């Protein structure tokens, strides 16, 4: 499995709201702080996106996609001078038909999803992304177009099983948007996601993900990257933000945490799968990285929760 698939499988993104959202002209909509990540694409029209703490508003045009990974409150508006209204007020007046949203006064329409992540380590993915990821290059939008068009079609012409199809299409849109972030390379930021775009760093990260239990040495990883040990160590830390073996240990512990929370495997078995023959050495490393002992972690993992009013709005047409 490739590293991006690895991480997403570990974090188990769950779409709790997927579908479309339309708004008429002269409407400014305020959305509250949110857990997880929101990913939407503009199907028709254009609008401004204003995110708390980001100085400049972002102009969204038809075909653009945006990710909001930081959970900050945001506003979608056709006019920056308009006072925003709470999103729940708008949702109550939303037509349940996509055709009605598009044809009966909506000057902008978008599709996508809002995703929660399992466990407490979504920062492994979200922490490296900026508050707004704006995908606007024509080549990048072309990559997303099939998912967007398919989701719009499913919403326009409901069929049995359609909501499940929309959820899966929303996940596909999220993965494709993250691929675009990945393709930007280190210029897009620091972290394993961006480092994957560098063929040297990507080779080393892929090797660690393919066989995390292997007793990797810095020399072995440098050889996978086709570099000298010293150059590789410096390049890896600059690109990823941590030393190679630190990254390896964190990835091992995240996988071990998932195994502890999702199975009845004894700690000794989990330790072996993480590359530790000594249970005590594994427990020490686990506590250093995860903040608690393996036994405590296995018993304490919470499930994602959502405010009651957001759950009420988690319908196929809700943003």
Q: Mind listing the pLDDT tens digit for each residue in 9-52?
A: 888 887 667 778 777 777 899 999 988 899 999 998 889 999 99
pLDDT of the residue at 201: 94
Q: Mind listing the pLDDT tens digit for each residue in 135-172?
A: 999 988 888 899 899 888 888 888 898 888 888 888 88
Alpha-carbon torsion, ordered 48, 53, 55, 59, to 10 deg: -20
Q: The whole model's pTM is what?
A: 0.78
pLDDT > 90: what percent of the chain? 40
Checking if the pLDDT of 98 tops 60, the result is no
User: Where along the chain do the CATH 2.60.120.10 domains lie?
Assistant: 3-183
pLDDT of the residue at 284: 96
245 — pLDDT class (breaks 50, 70, 90): very high
Is CATH 3.40.50.980 what the domain over 192-300 is classified as, yes or no? no
93 — pLDDT class (breaks 50, 70, 90): low
* Per-residue tokens: 48: 């401004």
User: Where along the chain do the CATH 1.10.10.60 domains lie?
Assistant: 192-300
Q: Which CATH topology does 3-183 take?
A: Jelly Rolls (2.60.120)
Checking if the pLDDT of 233 tops 70, the result is yes
């Amino acid at each position: 499995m490739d590293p991006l698939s690895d991480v997403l499988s570990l974090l188990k993104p769950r779409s709790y709201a997927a579908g479309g959202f339309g708004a008429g002209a002269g409407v400014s909509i305020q959305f509250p702080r949110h857990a997880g990540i929101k990913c939407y694409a503009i199907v028709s029209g254009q609008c401004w996106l204003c995110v708390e703490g980001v100085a400049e508003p972002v102009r969204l045009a038809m075909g653009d996609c945006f990710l909001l990974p930081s959970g900050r409150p945001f506003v979608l508006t056709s006019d920056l001078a308009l006072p925003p209204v709470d999103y729940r007020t708008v949702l109550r007046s939303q037509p349940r038909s996509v055709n009605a949203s598009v044809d009966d006064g909506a000057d902008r329409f978008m599709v996508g999803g809002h995703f929660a992540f399992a466990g407490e380590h979504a920062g492994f993915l979200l922490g490296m992304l900026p508050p707004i990821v704006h995908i606007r290059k024509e080549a990048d939008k072309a990559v997303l177009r099939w998912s967007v068009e398919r989701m719009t079609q499913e919403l326009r012409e409901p069929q049995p099983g359609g909501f499940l199809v929309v959820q899966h299409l929303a996940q596909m849109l999220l993965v494709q948007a993250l691929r675009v972030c990945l393709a930007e390379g280190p210029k897009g930021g620091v972290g394993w996601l961006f480092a994957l775009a560098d063929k040297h760093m990507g080779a080393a990260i892929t090797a660690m993900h393919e066989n995390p239990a292997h007793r990797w040495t810095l020399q072995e990883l440098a050889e996978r990257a086709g570099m000298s040990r010293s150059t590789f160590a410096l390049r890896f830390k600059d690109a990823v933000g941590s030393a190679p073996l630190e990254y390896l240990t964190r990835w091992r512990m995240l996988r071990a945490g998932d195994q502890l929370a999702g199975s009845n495997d004894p700690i000794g078995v989990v330790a072996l799968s993480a590359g530790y023959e000594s249970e005590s050495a594994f427990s020490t490393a686990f506590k250093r990285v995860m903040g608690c002992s393996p036994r405590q972690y296995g018993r304490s993992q919470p499930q994602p929760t959502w405010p009651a009013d957001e759950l009420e709005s988690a319908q196929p047409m809700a943003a």
